[in-house]
A and B are shown apart, each in its own frame.
Chain A
Amino acid sequence: MAVGIRTRNLRKVYSSPPPLAVRGAALSGGFGKKPKGAKPPNVVALDGLSLEVAGGEIFGLLGPNGAGKSTTVGILTTRVRPSSGEAYIGEFDVWRQQVQAKRLIGVVQQRPNLDFSLTAREILLFHGAYFGMASHERQKRASELLERFQLTPRADDLTRGFSGGMMQRLSLARAMMHDPQVLFLDEPSTGLDPQTRLLLWAIIREYNARGKTILITTHNMEEADALCHRLAIVDHGKVIALGTPAELKASIPGGYLLQLRFSSAPPALIERLSRIPGVTEVRPNGEGIDVYADRGGSLISEIVAAAAESSVELRDVHISEPSLENLFLHHTGRSLRQ
């Protein structure tokens, strides 16, 4: 039976630097040299994160660096102790029933963490042995995975000299070795070439088709859109939006986003822009104005006219179609890539 994932009100406050694997750009800023006698800085990585992932689902956590995605995965995989809240894999409390939870999961970390003292094949064989697989079963499964991940020619080499893409493929093969019910993939396609990424996506879909639950973290909208059945958008350790990619995109007012820059942005201009038919929301944004609307390019002539009436000059226009990126921007006021 497919195994789901559940968290309730998860909080994590780091009082010492988190390990590199869960340290996002936004987190690292708080650490460094501190004055003598100062208390260690407390960094809130998760601030009451609640999730429910159904068994057999491909679920995505989408958010910028430091949003709390890797910490969530860290807690769900027993590697990070939550400050408060609950996390379950199936019926098992991840913190109190670690061994049972670990039996159900396979994990691919953001950075390849292969055992450099072993060859690629040995990594799979020992991993199988840790999970109590019988010898012949280990051999068979390792050979199949090496073949599927196109690693057979290098199967008996030590992995230290592997390229990033090969390490990533081997990490995924290792995570699948004991055929876990739930697979965690933390930024699986970071740094991969497009071909390897497509191979990875195909393998993830295949695995999911066998009723397995997959939780992916990503800041790549294309990946989230292409793979995930449902998504949670995470920022500052909280879920800020949840739904299927289509639902989420439909939830942006108007769908299209026009980022405009004018010589100046007087209130009269904003007023005029919001009266243009099809415009659903107008938001001053620093030097520019963001316009959410149900169409894109065909609005330009009316925007230019509105600018002329307000005696300002339109200097720059950027039009984006309905996307998760726009959704993120709408909810947080900043880009996913920031």
Chain B
Amino acid sequence: MNGKTFFALFSRDVHVARRNLVATLLQTMLQPLMFVFVFGQVLTRTGMMSASYKGILLPGIIAISMTMTGVQAVAMPLIAEFQFTREIEDRLLAPIRIEWLAVEKILSGTLHALVSGAVVTLPARWLLGSGLGISTDHLGLVLLIAVLVALFSSAGGLTLGCSVGQTQIGLMFSIILAPMMMFGCVYYPWAALASFPVLQKAVLINPLVYASEGLRGTLAPQYPHISTGAIIAVLALMDAALVLAGLWRFGKKSVS
């Protein structure tokens, strides 16, 4: 691998992200924070939800913010750059194997997702107010799970970005991302699906389930959650599968 070239490709993505900082922050944070306000404040204060719901919600919100940011940070620019303008061509001609460009995309998406997780946590905590019941006893595990979540989101973004055309972006949101969000155990623990046994098993293919449950199990372990050991194992497997799929799709897409 050519370190200088890799670093230059990465610097280019950081430079563009910095230029689009405000738009990126709005895109990343607004929706989860509105969810936090409506579900965590409006519904709990009016007594429609119990106050303990806040502790269930926060890990889910962090998971969904990270996942959506990682996917979008990689997939959206790639979809545009692989269209007829072929904006990516100059980077494909850089003196480095093209697989490294895909790895660079995954790295930059992973960082995007981690930053988004960190950035959304503070205002969300503030919006939720007191009585959260969030524990910081397992910070090491929280970080490990956060990294695994960030990685699957960016590798998933790479796979999607190299598989979806510009005209199918709307479809990608409605048939892939929207069901992922709704059935990702973001707003409820996985155990709550017990009364829908088929659905409870079906959602296990959704990586967001493991993201939400993993963060819930480490940040708010007092609520029901899937075992953390299993979460880490499944996330690691999904990461590996999505990285391989992403690299394969990228190779297919970039050479004719």
Which A residues fall within an 8 A CB radius of B?
A: 14, 18-22, 74, 77-81, 98-99, 102-103, 105, 107, 109, 111, 113-118, 122-123, 126-127, 129-132, 174
Q: Report if A130-B16 is in contact (Cβ < 8 Å); known contacts: A102-B94, A113-B86, A116-B87.
A: no
**Judging by beta carbons under 8 Å apart, are A111 and B93 in contact?**
no
Which B residues fall within an 8 A CB radius of A?
A: 2, 4-5, 8-9, 11-12, 15-16, 19-20, 77, 84-98, 254-256
Select which of B86, B94, B98, B256 is within 8 A of A130 by beta carbon: B94
**B85, closest chain A residue (CB):** A113
Q: Nearest Cβ in chain B — how far from A65, in angstroms?
A: 16
**Judging by beta carbons under 8 Å apart, are B84 and A20 in contact?**
yes
**Judging by beta carbons under 8 Å apart, are B86 and A99 in contact?**
no
**Judging by beta carbons under 8 Å apart, are B2 and A99 in contact?**
yes
Select which of A18, A79, A105 is within 8 A of B89 by beta carbon: A79
**A104, closest chain B residue (CB):** B95
State in angstroms the CA–CA spacing of A103 and B88 once bound together: 17
**A98, closest chain B residue (CB):** B97
**Judging by beta carbons under 8 Å apart, are A130 and B95 in contact?**
yes
Q: Which of A99, A107, A174 has the most CB of B within 10 A?
A: A99
State in angstroms the CA–CA spacing of A174 and B20 once bound together: 24
State in angstroms the CA–CA spacing of A99 and B96 once bound together: 5
**Judging by beta carbons under 8 Å apart, are B97 and A99 in contact?**
yes
Which chain B positions have C-beta within 8 A of A103? 95
Q: Which of B9, B15, B85 has the most CB of A within 10 A?
A: B85
State in angstroms the CA–CA spacing of A80 and B2 once bound together: 22
**Judging by beta carbons under 8 Å apart, are A174 and B90 in contact?**
yes
State in angstroms the CA–CA spacing of A293 and B85 once bound together: 47
Select which of A80, A99, A118, A127 is within 8 A of B256 by beta carbon: A80
Which chain A positions have C-beta within 8 A of B19? 117
> Which are the 4 A-B pairs with shortest beta-carbon distances?
A129-B8, A130-B94, A113-B86, A113-B89
Select which of B91, B97, B256 is within 8 A of A74 by beta carbon: B256
5 intermolecular pairs with C-beta atoms under 8 Å apart: A80-B256, A117-B20, A122-B15, A130-B95, A131-B95
Which chain B positions have C-beta within 8 A of A117? 16, 19-20, 77, 87
**B91, closest chain A residue (CB):** A130
State in angstroms the CA–CA spacing of A103 and B5 once bound together: 11
Q: Report if A18-B86 is in contact (Cβ < 8 Å); known contacts: A126-B12, A129-B11, A132-B2.
A: no
**Judging by beta carbons under 8 Å apart, are A22 and B256 in contact?**
yes
State in angstroms the CA–CA spacing of A114 and B88 once bound together: 8
**B6, closest chain A residue (CB):** A130
Q: Report if A127-B95 is in contact (Cβ < 8 Å); known contacts: A80-B256, A122-B15.
A: no
Q: Nearest Cβ in chain B — how far from A94, in angstroms?
A: 12
Which chain B positions have C-beta within 8 A of A116? 85, 87
Which chain A positions have C-beta within 8 A of B86? 19-21, 109, 111, 113
